[in-house]
Structure 1
């Protein structure tokens, strides 16, 4: 019996640690300010200053894109696409989301609602500047998940359409049990622990020069808190569960060589999304040689051209034919092809 006491004490101590350490979110403060655009900054209602980049055509634009970066990235991700779209007569805006880039509370997770609310603020402010133009939301990875959650609620912003580039949809229900278990344990015991991802063998893009530049960029976060990863997973859960609630004309882009967001959750999301009742334009494009960072892959311009064509036509075939490939792979009898 005495031998059980040390074990019992250890269990009690472990429970105490787990109960005493919780993954935190760092939400916006009180809404004491008037949201506004100030040059290269979005000022939110709680006074947060989100760095803003923009790429404007030399003539009056015919459409506007508001772009959201992925996890640990920042607004500069849209530099090359933004330059391309400006030459097509499309104005583009991208801002650093809270906790990323030069935005406040770098490295800390603001919460899914905060990211969606900031997007709604950005849409409202930019729409005032271009009241007659169609506005499109474009999100890469985490940015795509933010857009999905923002466009799935009752107070969704009024936009002409959304473009989801490899959206972050790796929900817990599609993860292996040991992965979710480890994440929960670390988030509830060592939420401040930082992980670098070193040793993880994945290829986010075939654009090696671009990846090296990201590695040298001081504004790209290289070490991530566990509680921030936990918050990202919560966002992916929410986005994944919103497949049937997404009310927007949608262009979803996915690279078949994506090693960051697996095929299984993407395919499961698409099954629900494509069968949902809302009568909206739903275009899905699969790029056979595409990786996770589709917009910055070596074939990036092919994706930019598809986006431009989709915006200009509102629907119809994409120049690359990637939408036709998706139709083949998503056919009921071809579901196993996507897994191969």
Structure 2
């Protein structure tokens, strides 16, 4: 019987199927006590996640912040915010989340459950280091989504409040059907392929120097595995669903910019519309007219730091910038 030769497209498809498989980080059993060292967040499974710390140098510590970076970023994201909040009296700890920055298995998705477990562990360590100070979690973009996924557990571990800066909530609920079809197809046939977006004109910040630094930074992931992108959307789906459950205990402050160019405006509007109607001291939204996705790195970021510090000190007081007033 004569064999039909394989077409080039079929050959490529078979190669993709054989060479690439979906991966999730394998997390080992607990082998050690978690700890903060000078340079690392040592986890229960024995992994060292790089850690950066900023402490006030001219005043006592008023409060403590554990900060989570965004997708493909790492703890360096908080260089400016860490210094800014330290100058205002707050200690800030930021670690590279698993799969990002300088961690083992860089580029491999760790899973929402493990990312939540890590931030809970880090929050406990920060509380133990400063037992008499209020404790806050600060999340930028994906980091905000992780904190929302962890929200039901935060009261029990002594978290006083959460600050969500442009939290990533672009889940399946608010994505076009074609996106779901294409992502399901990609995860089926080429989950391990790393893709670098090209030809997409987006401006994440008004701080062009910060954006150039990101572009040159070898620790910032430029090409994303399909299975990691899929994991991010699953996390954002969980974060979007968490909106109505943000009951104000612990209290929350959500920050968005009018020039948000990464998350679709319709998704942000639907998410904000799903939030419970709380007293301002329990839950508050701040809207910055000149703000971008990376609010904490914008040229006007000092006003955001002032607002965050004022809110951590007294959640009932209006924010100094007025960004918590309803937009016209």
Equivalent pair of 1:21/1:188 in contact (CA under 8 Å): no
The 3 A distance-change label for structure 1 pair 134 and 154 is closer
Secondary structure in structure 2 of the residue aligned to 1:86 = helix
**Aligned equivalent of 1:115:** 115
Equivalent pair of 2:145/2:168 in contact (CA under 8 Å): yes
**Aligned equivalent of 1:64:** 64
In the alignment, the residues of structure 1 paired with residue 280 and residue 29 of structure 2 have an alpha-carbon distance, to the nearest angstrom, of 38
Give the superposition deviation at 1:23: 3.3
Equivalent pair of 1:317/1:323 in contact (CA under 8 Å): yes
Equivalent pair of 1:196/1:222 in contact (CA under 8 Å): yes
**Aligned equivalent of 1:298:** 299
**Aligned equivalent of 2:266:** 264
Secondary structure in structure 2 of the residue aligned to 1:138 = strand
Q: Deviations over 1:81-134 (max 9, x none)?
A: 111111111111100000001112100000001101000010111111100000
RMSD: 2.7
In the alignment, the residues of structure 1 paired with residue 92 and residue 62 of structure 2 have an alpha-carbon distance, to the nearest angstrom, of 11
Give the superposition deviation at 1:213: 0.8
The 3 A distance-change label for structure 1 pair 20 and 245 is farther
**Aligned equivalent of 1:332:** none
**5 Å matches for 1:42-81?**
42-58=41-57, 59-81=59-81
Instruction: Pick which of 113-122 and 36-45 moved more.
Output: 36-45
The 3 A distance-change label for structure 1 pair 155 and 259 is same
**Aligned equivalent of 2:324:** 323
In the alignment, the residues of structure 2 paired with residue 196 and residue 128 of structure 1 have an alpha-carbon distance, to the nearest angstrom, of 41
**Aligned equivalent of 2:29:** 30
**Aligned equivalent of 2:186:** 186
The 3 A distance-change label for structure 1 pair 153 and 128 is closer
In the alignment, the residues of structure 2 paired with residue 27 and residue 144 of structure 1 have an alpha-carbon distance, to the nearest angstrom, of 24
Give the superposition deviation at 1:136: 0.6
Give the superposition deviation at 1:173: 1.5
Matched, 1:145 2:145: yes
Give the superposition deviation at 1:148: 0.4
**Aligned equivalent of 2:199:** 199
What stretches of structure 1 of length at least 5 have no aligned partner? 330-340
The 3 A distance-change label for structure 1 pair 318 and 175 is same
Q: Deviations over 1:227-281 (max 9, x none)?
A: 00000001001111111222420000001111111222222222222347x9971
Give the superposition deviation at 1:24: 2.8
Give the superposition deviation at 1:157: 3.3
Instruction: Pick which of 65-74 and 308-317 moved more.
Output: 308-317
In the alignment, the residues of structure 2 paired with residue 174 and residue 238 of structure 1 have an alpha-carbon distance, to the nearest angstrom, of 12
Equivalent pair of 2:281/2:316 in contact (CA under 8 Å): no
The 3 A distance-change label for structure 1 pair 27 and 112 is farther
**5 Å matches for 1:160-171?**
160-171=160-171
Q: Deviations over 1:29-51 (max 9, x none)?
A: 11122111222111111111111
Give the superposition deviation at 1:155: 7.8
**Aligned equivalent of 1:176:** 176
In the alignment, the residues of structure 2 paired with residue 222 and residue 316 of structure 1 have an alpha-carbon distance, to the nearest angstrom, of 41
In the alignment, the residues of structure 1 paired with residue 231 and residue 126 of structure 2 have an alpha-carbon distance, to the nearest angstrom, of 28
Equivalent pair of 2:20/2:193 in contact (CA under 8 Å): no
Give the superposition deviation at 1:20: 11
**TM-score for the superposition, normalised by structure 2:** 0.90
What stretches of structure 2 of length at least 5 have no aligned partner? none
Equivalent pair of 2:23/2:227 in contact (CA under 8 Å): yes
**Aligned equivalent of 1:338:** none
Give the superposition deviation at 1:65: 0.9
Secondary structure in structure 1 of the residue aligned to 2:189 = coil
Equivalent pair of 1:258/1:290 in contact (CA under 8 Å): yes
